[in-house]
């Protein structure tokens, strides 16, 4: 392939934007190659608060276009991927004399309900916290709360499903290949990539380059492309902590802090609560990002202002941190910088380059459509928009039919538990039987590494989802890292190392 095939598009970056663009373009008939220097979703795309949401707080910054687009996308994405996206109700406790008056919150929620797109998600309502079960884990200082709808997403799975679908539609998808050089030669891009183990270097020719490298977008421009004085993105760090379950209510909480920032407390993987996020400027290399002691204290203190039972650093069972690459609009505070995306085309020498700045999980599909408009203008149109009515791999069932899918899987594989069946449907949807294969008993699933992670699933992830390391599998593909001991995780790593040699 190297040196022979001329691709229409070469995409740099395997986060949600890069994989979304590759999928959309492949579905329209463009020839596409994509390179991700690490694992898919290993950067920003797996470091979010895992919400498909309109962005209620963005209304305060007058980002009405972004909020409206995001609100309209919630149910579109839910229909595309009901296995990895599902609705979630949020409780926003209100206290007199708080940061935002009740009328302002009501106005924001009215706009949230009516800006567009809500058909199946229930509307906002007011709660009497003297009677509602949502008050149980909270301090007894709230008499009123507002409840509204948004959605939850398994972010890393949504990314890899976009990559999988792009590959199924003909795209060449490379994980763990870094773009080391991208130069315009003879009317084409010549893109050189090197494998992480440095054993292989390949060169691809393409009519157009798409730089969707997220926090590394400026590094790609300065390094691989060779541009000078590059500064387009403002890096903002967001960190999250996971603690043992703080409440049994299926709803999430939206907490307002005295500094005007907000955090969420969200039911997570059945037995845990996710608390986040922080917002602070970040100036180091994105690959080195990790939660700071200051952020840990901030999240613990902020949550403890609301929960009767304090959240302490020693309660944390896992944490994660990522850098959001916001388009640098000159905002004075990190939390005020625009969350909207910006697409810019450069045509130096007549060979087009599309740079993708910003974006968020909820709007990735629309970002991809807008990117394809610019691609069509630059190198010629192929098929029209198609993703709105599509399904991501495994998501070809009704949003109300998750329970039916679980029951059907258990009927076909009666030896698996309901808990395991639910997890498989939430990860793989209608592709869950591909994971279990022809197994007629638990023993035929192979080695149990811990939690509900069997060898059959590990092999599926290696074959179909580019998984190579224990981190790929435990923290991005399955979240089973929360349920395996350190020794069990090491056993999985040893198994993968042996498989790589074979």
Query: What's the pLDDT tens digit per position in 295-336?
Result: 999 999 999 999 999 999 999 999 999 999 988 877 666 666
pLDDT at site 500? 82
pLDDT at site 468? 97
- What is the tally of helices (H) and strands (E) in the chain? 13, 20
Q: Dihedral sign for Cα 147, 151, 152, 155, please.
A: negative
87: pLDDT confidence band, cut at 50, 70 and 90? very high
CB 149, CB 78: distance < 8 Å:
no
Alpha-carbon Rg for the chain in angstroms: 23
Q: What is the pLDDT of residues 95-125, one digit of tens each?
A: 876 778 888 888 889 989 988 878 999 999 9
Residue 340 confidence (pLDDT) above 90: no
pLDDT at site 332? 62
Residue 1 confidence (pLDDT) above 50: no
Percent of the chain scored above 70 by pLDDT?
97
Structure tokens at 291: 């939660």
Residue 234 confidence (pLDDT) above 80: yes
Q: What is the mean pLDDT of residues 274-287?
A: 93
Average pLDDT over the chain reads: 94
CB 212, CB 163: distance < 8 Å:
no
More confident residue, 55 or 271: 271
3: pLDDT confidence band, cut at 50, 70 and 90? very low
CB 150, CB 90: distance < 8 Å:
yes
pLDDT at site 4? 66
More confident residue, 1 or 41: 41
Given 3-state DSSP classes, what are the helix, strand and coil percentages for the chain, each rounded to the nearest 5? 40, 25, 35
CA distance 420 to 34: 33
Q: Which of 475, 445, 460, 451 is nearest to 394 (CA)?
A: 460
Residue 75 confidence (pLDDT) above 90: yes
- How do strand 262-268 and strand 252-256 relate by DSSP bridges? antiparallel
337: pLDDT confidence band, cut at 50, 70 and 90? low
Cβ neighbours around 389 below 10 Å, total = 9
Q: What is the pLDDT of residues 159-174, one digit of tens each?
A: 999 999 999 999 999 9
Q: Domains in the chain, ordered, with CATH?
A: 6-44+157-230+339-389 (3.50.50.60), 74-153+234-332 (3.30.9.10), 402-501 (1.10.8.870)
Q: What is the mean pLDDT of residues 173-197?
A: 97
Q: What is the pLDDT of residues 398-421, one digit of tens each?
A: 999 999 999 999 999 999 999 999
Q: Which of 302, 297, 301, 280 is nearest to 289 (CA)?
A: 280
Residue 265's H or E segment, with its range, is: strand 262-268
> For 62-152, where are the alpha helices, taking DSSP H only?
64-80, 102-114
372 half-sphere exposure, CB direction, 13 A CA radius: 28
Name residue, tokens 């149910």.
75
Q: What is the pLDDT of residues 61-70, one digit of tens each?
A: 778 888 899 9
Percent of the chain scored above 90 by pLDDT?
85
Residues 6+ apart with CB under 8 A from 236: 279, 280, 281, 282, 323, 324, 326, 334, 337
pLDDT at site 334? 65
């Amino acid at each position: 392939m190297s040196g022979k095939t001329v691709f229409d598009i070469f995409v740099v970056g395997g986060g949600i934007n890069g994989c979304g663009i590759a999928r959309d373009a492949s579905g329209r008939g463009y020839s596409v190659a994509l390179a991700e220097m690490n694992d898919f979703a290993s950067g920003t795309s797996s470091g979010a608060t895992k919400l498909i949401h309109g962005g209620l707080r963005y209304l305060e910054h007058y980002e009405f276009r972004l909020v409206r687009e995001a609100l309209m996308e919630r149910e579109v994405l839910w229909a595309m991927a009901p296995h990895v996206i599902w609705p979630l109700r949020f409780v926003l406790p209100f206290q007199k004399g708080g940061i935002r008056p009740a009328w302002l919150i009501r106005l924001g929620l009215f706009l949230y309900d009516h800006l567009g797109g809500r058909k199946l998600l229930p509307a906002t309502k007011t709660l009497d916290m003297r009677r509602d079960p949502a008050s149980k884990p909270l301090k007894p200082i709230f008499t009123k709360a507002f409840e509204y709808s948004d959605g939850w997403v398994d972010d890393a799975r949504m990314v890899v499903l976009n990559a999988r679908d792009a590959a199924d539609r003909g795209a060449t998808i490379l994980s763990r290949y870094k773009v080391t050089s991208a130069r315009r030669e003879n009317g084409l891009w010549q893109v050189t990539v090197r494998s992480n183990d440095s054993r292989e270097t390949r060169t691809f020719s393409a009519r157009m380059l798409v730089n969707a490298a997220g926090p590394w977008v400026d590094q790609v421009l300065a390094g691989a492309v060779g541009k000078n004085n590059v500064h387009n993105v403002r890096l903002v760090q967001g960190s999250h902590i996971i603690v043992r379950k703080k409440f049994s209510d299926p709803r999430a909480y939206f907490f307002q802090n005295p500094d005007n920032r907000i955090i969420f407390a969200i039911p997570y993987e059945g037995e845990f609560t996710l608390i986040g996020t922080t917002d602070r400027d970040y100036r180091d290399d994105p690959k080195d990002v990790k939660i700071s002691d200051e952020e840990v204290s901030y999240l613990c203190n902020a949550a403890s202002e609301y929960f009767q039972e304090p959240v302490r650093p020693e309660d944390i069972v896992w944490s994660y941190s990522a850098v959001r690459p916001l388009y640098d609009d000159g905002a004075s505070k990190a939390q005020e910088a625009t969350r909207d995306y910006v697409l810019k085309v450069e045509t130096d020498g007549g060979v087009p380059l599309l740079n993708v700045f910003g974006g968020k999980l909820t709007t990735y599909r629309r970002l991809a459509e807008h990117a394809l408009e610019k691609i069509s203008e630059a190198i010629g149109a192929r098929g029209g928009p198609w993703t709105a009515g599509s399904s991501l791999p495994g998501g070809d069932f009704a949003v109300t039919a998750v329970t039916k899918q679980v029951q059907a899987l258990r009927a076909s594989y009666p030896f698996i538990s309901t808990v395991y069946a639910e997890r498989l449907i939430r990860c793989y949807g209608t592709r869950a039987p591909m994971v279990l294969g022809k197994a007629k008993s638990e023993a035929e699933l192979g080695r149990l590494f811990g939690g509900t992670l069997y060898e059959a699933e590990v092999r599926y992830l290696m074959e179909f989802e580019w998984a190579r390391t224990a981190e790929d599998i435990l923290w991005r593909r399955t979240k089973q890292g929360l349920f395996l001991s350190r020794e069990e995780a090491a056993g999985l790593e040893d198994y993968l190392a042996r498989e790589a040699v074979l």
